Chain A
Amino acid sequence: MTTPPLLEAVDVVREYRSPRRSLRTPGQPVRALDGVSLQVHEGETFGIVGESGSGKSTLSRILMALDQPTSGAASYAGQRISGVPERKLGFLRRDVQMVLQDPMSSLNPRMRVADIVAEPMRSLRLPGDHRARVAELMHAVGLPEEAVTRYPHQFSGGQRQRIAIARALAAGPKVVVGDEPVSALDVSVRAQILNLLTDLAEQFRLTLVLVSHDLSVVRYLCDRIAVMNQGRIVETGDTASIYSDPQHPYTQRLLSAVPTLHGDLLDRFNRSST
């Protein structure tokens, strides 16, 4: 690649101290990330896959400077963001937004949708007509405009995820990081939200970073993927080549977990749908 990376992690280690078992023995350190390096380029849709506990969420939080590495560093557009005080991260907060798995817990239940969606514009003190922008966003994510006066609990899971996406887009970000954004949704709603993300990524020229344990989701959405296992990236590459020719044994195992789970009926299921 000739352009410099938009998001970068260099040799990132993140240790957590597990709670101590007794007064004498301190808790053992857990290496959630163990020397992770990664580059995401502008306009790319990048997937991070791996089993539960492999460090996906920890990595995505460090890429957003919501957590600090024990050693190593993350940067955005060539500027270091690890260990930088929050007041100097305005550029990052404006450019990078997040969508989480469970929209219910990430949407304030006591706020109306209008205020939830406008919140990033307010906290970043962005100029302009916030109400008009909210209306525009509701349209972009396929929600009726009247929805702005309602509260999160009055919506279905898929609609709440649309609200969370609208909020993520409010400040006009360059990058959206989704941590399992469709994992809690029904299959039918999942496909709708994935289509929405694809549309929006095109429309707003977004760089997408998608964290998921679901290989079919990543395969559909991402140009490149990184496969994580026990705090390390074991393989990175084009989605198509990783799926057709996985190099690392862990990747092979992860990919084969799907067909063995579903057996030949799934093969048949997939074949008959093409």
Chain B
Amino acid sequence: MTEVSGLVVEDLVVEVHGTPAVKGISFELGRGSRMGLIGESGCGKSLTALALMGLLPHGVTASGRVLLGGRNLLDLSDREMCAVRGNDIAMVFQEPMTALNPLMRVGNQIAESLRLHRGMSRAAAAARAVELIERVQLPEPDRTARRYPHQLSGGQRQRVVLAIALACDPAVLVADEPTTALDVTVQAEMLRLMDTLVREEGASLLLITHDLPVVASICEELLVMYGGTIVEHGDVATVFDSPRHPYTAGLKASTVLERTDGNSRLATIPGRVPALGAFPGGCVYRNRCPRADDACRTVPLLTAPPGSRRRAACHHPIESDQSLESGKASA
């Protein structure tokens, strides 16, 4: 494989029929590091992932730079990108069925990727597919290889998708809500497996989810996304301990499901994510933020305080000695 230092995203813009849905985000995923990307649905997480993979749907376009191994993936032709996908960067989706061919035995689906990217012979690819099935801890690898997707449970299918993703030792694995469709007990096993394999392969992981505890258990760094922008970035423990951006604080408060004082209701973020194109000007979070004032009519930059690596895009960030504040439900 080529020397890949990691993934560098610079000023990535994704437009849906001309309306920006991802508005110029930049981040670096170091080699072997594990980054979480969180935010409510409709904030641009999946479009970011699909842009990295060169899998944007019709009418959706990306610009900026996605640098991997010295190349800008956004400049590659479809054919070149097809070679990169699977080989250098691979993806696990929320719904495993979208990634699997219902009419093909799962062993053959894994083997196909190996033959395509590695030029393996049919027999070698088939044997390696069985090994990979064992690697993702599916029972009776030989028999499982001959099954069709519908003959497996949701958790088992997701393992097959993971086997396909890892077949060619990609440098980067992008996982978009990989366990949301699975039940809790299966989720835990799946995450542990993904974590182990990514570590063993030395791959980098971009884990997209709206489940904060999942990120806390797996990732080192955290990106918080809202309205197509990155609103906060830092290492997971610090960001969760003392969020600087009011949106991160709100997400955290709604996740822990703790009764707020007085009326014993849960802390929530007021309102909801606006539709594409309907976010306010200036700070995108302005219409839901308990701290908003006139200063927030201008776009806050994603900056770190002096001497810190923690970036937040807010005119009035929460200082760590201040108590958390978040809106309460108006129901």
Asked if A and B are interacting partners, one says yes
Residues of A within 8 A of B (CB): 51-52, 142, 156-159, 186-192, 194-196, 198-199, 213-217, 219-220, 254, 257-258, 260-263, 265-266, 268-270, 272-274
Nearest chain A CB to B44's CB is how many angstroms away? 14
Does B213 lie within 8 Å of A257, measured CB to CB?
no
Does B40 lie within 8 Å of A186, measured CB to CB?
yes
Contacts A187-B254, A257-B184 given: A192-B329 contact, CB under 8 Å? yes
B3 at the interface (CB under 8 A from A): no
How many residues on B have C-beta within 8 angstroms of the other chain's C-beta atoms? 44
Q: Which of B283-331 contact A (CB under 8 A)?
A: 324, 329-331
B19 at the interface (CB under 8 A from A): no
Contacts of A266 in B (CB 8 A): 213, 216-217
The total of Cβ contacts below 8 Å across the A-B interface reads 117
Q: How far is the CA of A261 from the CA of B210 in the complex (A)?
A: 16
B78 at the interface (CB under 8 A from A): no
Nearest chain B CB to A102's CB is how many angstroms away? 12
Q: How far is the CA of A52 from the CA of B154 in the complex (A)?
A: 11
Does A268 lie within 8 Å of B240, measured CB to CB?
yes
B266 at the interface (CB under 8 A from A): yes
Does A270 lie within 8 Å of B256, measured CB to CB?
yes
Which B residue's beta carbon lies closest to that of A270? B256
Does A262 lie within 8 Å of B257, measured CB to CB?
no
Contacts A195-B266, A198-B265 given: A158-B272 contact, CB under 8 Å? yes
Does B216 lie within 8 Å of A192, measured CB to CB?
no
Q: Which of B41, B242, B267, B268 contacts A272 (CB 8 A)?
A: B242
B211 at the interface (CB under 8 A from A): yes
Does A262 lie within 8 Å of B256, measured CB to CB?
no
Does B272 lie within 8 Å of A268, measured CB to CB?
no
Contacts A188-B269, A194-B266, A265-B240 given: A274-B258 contact, CB under 8 Å? yes
Subset of 17 A-B contacts with CB under 8 Å: A52-B185, A142-B331, A156-B42, A186-B41, A187-B40, A188-B250, A189-B40, A191-B253, A194-B266, A195-B266, A196-B331, A220-B266, A261-B187, A268-B237, A269-B240, A273-B252, A273-B324
Contacts of B186 in A (CB 8 A): 52
Which B residue's beta carbon lies closest to that of A220? B257
Q: Which of B218-251 contact A (CB under 8 A)?
A: 236-237, 240-242, 250-251
**SS class, residues of chain A in contact with chain B:** helix
What string of 1s and 0s marks CB contacts (under 8 Å) between B171-214 and chain A?
Answer: 00000000000011111100100000000000000000011111
Which B residue's beta carbon lies closest to that of A253? B185
Contacts of A261 in B (CB 8 A): 184, 187-188, 191, 213-214, 217
Q: How far is the CA of A263 from the CA of B215 in the complex (A)?
A: 11
Nearest chain A CB to B270's CB is how many angstroms away? 9
Contacts of B191 in A (CB 8 A): 261
Nearest chain A CB to B2's CB is how many angstroms away? 34
Q: How far is the CA of A59 from the CA of B96 in the complex (A)?
A: 29
Contacts A187-B210, A257-B184 given: A268-B329 contact, CB under 8 Å? no
B259 at the interface (CB under 8 A from A): yes
Contacts of A189 in B (CB 8 A): 40, 272
Which B residue's beta carbon lies closest to that of A189? B272
Does B258 lie within 8 Å of A273, measured CB to CB?
yes
Q: How far is the CA of A261 from the CA of B184 in the complex (A)?
A: 9
Contacts of B255 in A (CB 8 A): 187
Nearest chain B CB to A231's CB is how many angstroms away? 16
Does A187 lie within 8 Å of B185, measured CB to CB?
no
Q: Which residue among B41, B255, B264, B331 has the maximum number of chain A CB atoms within 10 Å of its CB? A: B331
Q: Which residue among A52, A156, A269 has the maximum number of chain B CB atoms within 10 Å of its CB? A: A269
